[in-house]
Amino acid sequence: MDFRDYSLKELVSNVQGKKISAKELTQSALDNIDKFDGEINAFCSVNPEDALLQAEQIDSAIIKGEEVGILAGIPIGVKDLEDAKGFITSFGSELHINDAPANEDSILVQRMRDQGCVILGKTNTPEFGHKGKTDNVPFGSTKNPWNLKYSAGGSSGGTSAALASGMIPLGTGSDGGGSIRIPAALGGLSGLKTSQGRIPIGGKTPPGSGLLTVKGPMANTTQDNALALDATAGPDPTDIFSLESDNLNWSEELLNDAPKTAIWSPTMGFSTVDKEILSKCEKAINSLAEAGVEIIEKETIWNENPVDDWMIFWACACARRQQHLIDTKDFEKIDPLLRFFIEMGTNMDGASYASAIDACHKLGYQLEKFFEEAPLIITPATCGQAPKLEGDGFVNGSETPSWVDFTMGINMTRNPAGVIPISLLDSGLPASLQIIGGQRQDLNVLKAMNSFEEIIAFDEKAGFPLNI
């Protein structure tokens, strides 16, 4: 079964209506993984026996007339930075591949399990989720199903590739600097970074970068994301940033009219954008305007690139977790870029950290001035084109680490933001738009994503696998 051909609502309705069993859906996902993941490398561990047992229990509950949840029978992959009961959380690191399996789920995974999801296994991620492409020593590189010469992006690249190839209909991701939005953009998916606290990241273990990171579901379409949000959003007392519930049925509210005015900023005022990506984005913006969306162009949103301040937070989070490894033999086993972040954070002074917090305020203040004119800001999802399996992404043919500059600042301000695919590039990979909303205006972002998806009508599929 190619899960790209079905919405989550269709799949759940068929399971609850006994047109197909949860076990059959799960077996189909397992068959897809067995047939195709050897090439894509989206999953780093799978437990078929346990997955089928979970599915059988859901089917039994349906037969008995018991409540099975709004995602009943949906097979999912869990990003390998997050605990799922019975699976090792390796963090994509040699240092943890032999850890004991988790004895409980994270809050996100537990909520998805409670709503009827079947946990298939863990999806690949760069070591400790530290970069925008997915590769690591123990599990290797995750390839992009649109063109296998390219990376799936990161750090939720395993989940993105599994979705983009049709192997699964739903998965989990996390986003501390673009780690949902970047792989979603490269995978032709609808990807949502919620407001911080919308989906809690609490529990007994402090989050890796609590000032930046959100967790959430990943899916093919905005409507699927909204249904998954129904299953996962809501407060938890162990998350100090947890937001109170808005008492929304996200999937129903999604059908209301989307905002009709938006700001378009092609460079945000600080970045060079790949010419081919910019051309595709401008064509999509013209389509929105022709459909009646009032577009207000603003060249400058932020006066300077926020990446340097973002790196202060990221480096300090890396140091907090791994600085004890410096001057040990294990330190050399860590990805070189991650070692750079650890050493940077270890040598950071408090004044620099406080300055980065000040930058969050400054960036947020500047954003809110624009939201007085329009409820949304639209940018390219990425400045550059996807990296190949080795190296960085590309802007106008030149390799550069500055190919994802548009996502990181939004983590600093905690605004919601989503990405949608708009067109295919010459590489065969999708180009995507990023849609940013005001503080806690997740619903505005979702409505816009859903409406813009319909207007732009991107309906392409990755060409791999060919024979699901």
CATH number reported for the structural domain that contains residue 303 in this entry = 3.90.1300.10
The answer, as to whether pTM is greater than 0.75, is yes
179 is catalytic: yes
Among residues 151, 155, 432, 451, which one is catalytic? Answer: 155
SS3 67: coil
352 is catalytic: no
The answer to the question of residue 464 being in a domain is no
Instruction: Report the alpha-carbon distance of residue 367 to residue 379 in Å, rounded.
Output: 13
Q: Measured at the alpha carbon of residue 208, what is the angle toward residues 328 and 332, in degrees to the nearest 5?
A: 20
The answer to the question of residue 143 being in a domain is yes
Strands (E), 56-177: 75-79, 118-123, 143-144, 147-151, 170-175
The answer to the question of residue 338 being in a domain is yes
Instruction: Report the alpha-carbon distance of residue 28 to residue 394 in Å, rounded.
Output: 36
Q: What are 59's two structure tokens? A: 């089917």
* Residue pLDDT tens, the chain, 468 long: 999 999 999 999 999 999 999 999 999 999 999 999 999 999 999 999 999 999 999 999 999 999 999 999 999 999 999 999 999 999 999 999 999 999 999 999 999 999 999 999 999 999 999 999 999 999 999 999 999 999 999 999 999 999 999 999 999 999 999 999 999 999 999 999 999 999 999 888 777 787 899 999 999 999 999 999 999 999 999 999 999 998 899 999 998 787 899 999 999 999 999 999 999 999 999 999 999 999 999 999 999 999 999 999 999 999 999 999 999 999 999 999 999 999 999 999 999 999 999 999 999 999 999 999 999 999 999 999 999 999 999 999 999 999 999 999 999 999 999 999 999 999 999 999 999 999 999 999 999 999 999 999 999 999 888 665
Q: What b/e readout covers 25-34, taking b as 16+ CB neighbours within 10 angstroms?
A: bbbbbbebbe
Q: Are strands 147-151 and 143-144 parallel, antiparallel or unpaired?
A: antiparallel
Residue 183: closest CA among 207, 211, 164, 208: 164
Instruction: Report the alpha-carbon distance of residue 93 to residue 14 in Å, rounded.
Output: 39
What is the Cα 36 distance to its own chain's centre? 22
Indicate if the alpha-carbon torsion angle 111, 117, 118, 120 is positive or negative. negative
Q: What are 396's two structure tokens? A: 């106008």
The answer to the question of residue 461 being in a domain is no
The answer to the question of residue 466 being in a domain is no
Q: Which domain holds residue 64?
A: 3-456
Among residues 174, 179, 209, 432, which one is catalytic? Answer: 179
SS3 244: coil
Among residues 21, 28, 79, 122, which one is catalytic? Answer: 79
Give how far Cα 422 sits from Cα of 188, 281, 283, Å. Answer: 8, 7, 9
The answer to the question of residue 34 being in a domain is yes
Contacts of 160 (CB under 8 A, 6+ apart): 152, 153, 173, 183, 184, 186, 187, 189, 191, 218
Instruction: Report the alpha-carbon distance of residue 186 to residue 180 in Å, rounded.
Output: 10
Q: Measured at the alpha carbon of residue 295, what is the angle toward residues 293 and 301, in degrees to the nearest 5?
A: 140
If one counts the domains in the chain, the total is: 1
The answer to the question of residue 254 being in a domain is yes
The answer to the question of residue 374 being in a domain is yes
Give how far Cα 277 sits from Cα of 266, 293, 380, 449, Å. Answer: 10, 21, 8, 19
